[in-house]
């Protein structure tokens, strides 16, 4: 532990303070005080505790926003990390992490357990990599982000769930950080690149020794870093850790679905899950961030400058391009959780997976049982995944307009429209779907068609498909609710999708 403190102090100054908690074994508070005194760091310790249970319970109880108000950053560190200067380049790690302005970052952790949670290693030249998971053993978190993680996450989880739970939250807080960053960006008039929410500094590695830091009573005087014990195996044999983690993960997901709007004047909060549709519309109307509409207007303005050459260029760029390859249809759809439509003033920062589930459940609530309609509810915005591969929002998110009319009665194929997610989704799914469903995906954002202005261009067959398009359009627009993810029967969703899509598709 002395290596932690003296190394940090030499680089960050005397403003560094440590909060220590021993949550395993049978250590007493008195033994912990003796331990830090012998290490010569007692003057730098903010507080110590012996709080039984896993580390997450300690975070909830003691690392509160009020306790940490005077500090800029929080670093959550397991004490069985080899942290001395011979093993870990502290200064380089901090330099890279702070320059990126990532909300949460960590070094690459070298260990022998939970390999499936490790970030995918890229080429050696990669200095840092944006990831969807930052592990709980060594995350470096900015204080404003920790405040929200604590306020909107930890405080709503029952202590009995956190007790003896050591995993789960690391699968959640990167998504949470990404959503918060997007909200912050859209409420700010400054336009710029969003920093990564979570980052692994591949250029710096730290060793997790998987050993006990505090010696047991019968190991007094033995350096625990050299004592080859297996605390995780011992702990797992005593408690149903996997069951606790599943419950924790479920609660975190539910909590993520139950965020609140705050009225700045009255500082009262309204839980959207209990608000009527009319109340929700009223709330959303008041809470659209100041910069959101301006940013949406700028995106639409760029989109409306698309011309025939731009459409031809985008078609050539993306039509036959394989982005990932063959993969699970379900996993590709799950990527919609990472997609936000910055032009949608109703959904705001609600992800597109939540949106398609809203459309699906709205249809179900009105007793619509058509497998085609329900499947389209789930896959109609599949093309928005293109935003994850670097294309401009203006070429993906906006509604569709006609650039050049075709011949009467010859079908919409002869009409040229602006290029967006409709066309990209159509190109990716057309080989798997019946013609009417593929057609609906291709034109579900074409406003003039929905207004009846293009019927003269449709073929007789397309006219029979139009009611399905109109049905999707109705629920696509009327079901939108910000910060709401409905609960669905996933087995039922899988069954409906399997009627039209294979288990694996090429993307």
* Distance in angstroms (rounded) separating the CA atoms of residues 55 and 162: 9
Is 444 part of any known ligand binding site?
Answer: yes
Is 144 part of any known ligand binding site?
Answer: no
* Distance in angstroms (rounded) separating the CA atoms of residues 234 and 211: 12
* Distance in angstroms (rounded) separating the CA atoms of residues 288 and 471: 28
* Distance in angstroms (rounded) separating the CA atoms of residues 94 and 101: 11
Is 159 part of any known ligand binding site?
Answer: no
Return the number of other C-beta atoms located less than 10 Å from residue 304's C-beta: 11
* Distance in angstroms (rounded) separating the CA atoms of residues 449 and 403: 13
Kindly tell me the sign of the dihedral angle through the C-alpha atoms of 159, 164, 165, 166: positive
Residue in 329, 302, 351 with CA at minimum distance from that of residue 496: 329
Q: What are phi and psi of 67, to 5 degrees?
A: -65, -35
Question: What are the structure tokens assigned to 44, written together?
Answer: 């730098």
Is 6 part of any known ligand binding site?
Answer: no
Q: What are phi and psi of 72, to 5 degrees?
A: -85, -35
Return the number of other C-beta atoms located less than 10 Å from residue 416's C-beta: 15
Question: What are the structure tokens assigned to 24, written together?
Answer: 């395993």
233 class by beta-carbon count within 10 Å (0-12 exposed, 13-18 middle, 19+ buried): exposed
Percent helix, strand, coil in the chain (nearest 5)? 50, 10, 40
∠ CA 432-381-297, rounded to 5°: 150
Residues forming a β-bridge with 109:
206
Which residues make Cβ contacts (< 8 Å) with residue 399, sequence separation at least 6? 420, 445, 446, 447
Is 476 part of any known ligand binding site?
Answer: yes
According to DSSP, residue 216 is labeled: P
Give 288-293's long-range contacts (Cβ < 8 A, gap of 24+).
Answer: 288/345, 288/348, 289/183, 289/186, 289/187, 289/348, 290/187, 290/189, 291/185, 291/186, 291/187, 291/188, 291/189, 292/186, 292/187, 292/342, 292/345, 292/348, 293/345
Return the number of other C-beta atoms located less than 10 Å from residue 195's C-beta: 15
CA atoms within 13 A on the CB side of 222: 14
* Distance in angstroms (rounded) separating the CA atoms of residues 469 and 461: 13
Binding residues for Fe cation: 355, 380-381, 421, 444, 476
């Amino acid at each position: 532990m002395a290596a932690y403190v003296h190394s940090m102090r030499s680089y960050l100054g005397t403003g560094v303070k440590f909060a220590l908690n021993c949550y395993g074994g049978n250590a007493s508070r008195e033994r912990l005080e003796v331990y830090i005194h012998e290490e010569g760091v007692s003057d730098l310790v903010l507080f110590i505790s012996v709080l039984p249970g896993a580390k997450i319970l300690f975070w909830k109880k003691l690392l509160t926003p009020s306790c940490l108000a005077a500090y800029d950053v929080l670093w959550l560190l397991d004490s069985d990390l080899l942290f001395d200067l011979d093993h870990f380049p502290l200064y380089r790690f901090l330099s890279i992490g702070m320059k990126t302005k990532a909300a949460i970052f960590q070094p690459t952790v070298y260990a022998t357990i939970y390999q499936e949670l490790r970030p995918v290693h890229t080429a050696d030249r990669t200095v840092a990599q944006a990831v969807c998971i930052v592990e709980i053993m060594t995350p470096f978190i900015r204080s404003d982000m920790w405040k929200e993680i604590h306020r909107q996450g930890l405080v709503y989880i029952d202590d009995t769930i956190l007790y003896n739970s050591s995993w789960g939250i690391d699968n959640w807080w990167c998504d949470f950080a990404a959503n918060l960053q997007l909200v912050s960006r859209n409420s700010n008039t400054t336009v710029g690149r969003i920093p990564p929410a979570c980052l692994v500094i591949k250029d710096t590695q730290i060793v997790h020794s998987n050993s006990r830091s505090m010696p047991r009573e019968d190991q007094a005087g033995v350096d625990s870093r050299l004592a080859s014990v297996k605390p995780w195996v011992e702990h797992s044999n005593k408690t149903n850790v996997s069951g606790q983690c599943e419950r924790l993960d479920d609660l975190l997901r539910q909590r993520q679905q139950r965020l609140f709007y705050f009225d700045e004047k009255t500082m009262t909060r309204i839980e959207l899950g209990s608000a009527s549709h009319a109340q929700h519309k009223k709330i959303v109307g008041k809470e659209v961030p100041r910069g959101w509409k301006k940013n949406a207007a700028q995106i639409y303005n760029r989109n409306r400058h698309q011309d025939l050459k731009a459409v031809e260029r985008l078609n050539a760029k993306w039509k036959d391009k394989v982005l990932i390859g063959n993969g699970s249809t379900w996993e590709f759809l799950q990527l919609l959780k990472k997609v936000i439509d910055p032009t949608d003033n109703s959904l705001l920062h609600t992800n597109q997976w939540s949106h398609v589930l809203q459309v699906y459940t709205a249809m179900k609530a009105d007793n619509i049982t058509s497998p085609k309609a329900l499947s389209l509810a789930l896959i109609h915005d599949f093309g928005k995944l293109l935003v994850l591969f670097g294309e401009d929002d203006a070429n993906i998110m906006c509604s569709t307009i006609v650039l050049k009319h075709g011949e009467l009665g010859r079908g919409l194929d002869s009409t040229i429209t602006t290029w967006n997610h409709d066309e990209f989704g159509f190109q990716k799914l057309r080989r798997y779907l019946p013609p009417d469903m593929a057609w609906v995906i291709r034109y579900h954002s074409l406003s003039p068609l929905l207004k009846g202005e293009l019927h003269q261009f449709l073929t007789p067959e397309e006219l029979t498909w139009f009611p399905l398009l109109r049905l999707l359009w109705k629920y696509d627009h009327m079901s939108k609710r910000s910060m709401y993810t409905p609960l669905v029967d996933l087995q039922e969703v899988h069954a409906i999708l399997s009627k039209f899509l294979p288990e694996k598709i090429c993307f």
